[in-house]
Amino acid sequence: MVRMLDIAILGLLMDRDHHGYEIRTQVRDRLGVSANISFGSIYPALNRLERRGFVEAVIATEARGNALSTGSLSGERASLRALRATPGLGRRSRKVYRITPRGREEFVTLLADPATLDDSRSFSLRMALAKYLTPSLRVVLLERRRIDLVERLTEMQSSARNEQLDTYARSVMAHAVKGVELDLEWIDNLLSTERSNQQSFAPEAK
């Protein structure tokens, strides 16, 4: 969860530039994250990434009548101020972010990072961006996730068998079990696709 947002933002910027508000919708529509990320997360995260040099703000293209007066937006870390304190800047200017070369490096590192891939959300996020991974790394991630899920499945199955639970609690557990089973089917499909693709490149490998 820690770096979920960093991965999501950088992953979206790998493709093309985005502004904050747009990232929020894209995380839902392209990365499959069910809950909307709050603005209180996204703007601080963008500032964080900018400070670290992984993204940079470029003033919105598609300029409308603005007259921005003096080119005073070269202010270093006063990137916010440049926009806010400028009196002549009307409209709702969009702050468009672009990923830097260092950001691209950071992204692939984070994406393949062995740490914290346990929860369902961060795994789905990684898979949604899996085209940026090498085939072998994809398989590693999938297999590790598979192991976690199998373990969790047996745990939950025994919980679901607990006879001290009332009807509702047991129903919740049984439903959760089905969810994990669905996840496992998905993983297995992805794994077999991955392996058949590998074969097509090295069919003679015994």
Partner DNA sequence: AACCATCATATCAAATCGATATATCGAACG
Partner DNA sequence: CGTTCGATATATCGATTTGATATGATGGTT
Residue 35 or 205 with smaller CB distance to DNA? 35
Determine the Cα–Cα distance for residues 110 and 7; give it in Å rounded to an integer.
Answer: 7
Site string for DNA, 111-150 (x = CB under 7 A): ----xx--x-------------------------------
4 binds, among a copy of itself, DNA, none (CB under 5 to 8 A by kind): DNA
Among 43, 112, 132, 157, binds DNA (CB under 7 A): 43
Determine the Cα–Cα distance for residues 5 and 8; give it in Å rounded to an integer.
Answer: 5
Residue 32 or 90 with smaller CB distance to a copy of itself? 32
Shortest Å, Cβ 121 to DNA = 9
The dihedral sign for the CA sequence 197, 121, 101, 29:
positive
Q: Is residue 34 part of the contact set for DNA (CB under 7 A)? A: no
- Only one of the segments 76-84, 89-97, 105-113, 171-179 lies at the binding site for a copy of itself (rule: CB under 8 A); that segment is 171-179
Beta-carbon contacts of residue 134 (< 8 Å; ≥ 6 apart): none
Residue 79 or 159 with smaller CB distance to DNA? 79
Q: Is residue 166 part of the contact set for a copy of itself (CB under 8 A)? A: yes
**Which residues in this chain contact a copy of itself in the complex, by CB under 8 A?**
28-32, 34-35, 119-120, 124, 127-131, 152, 156, 159, 162, 165-169, 171-173, 175-176, 178-179, 182-183, 186, 190
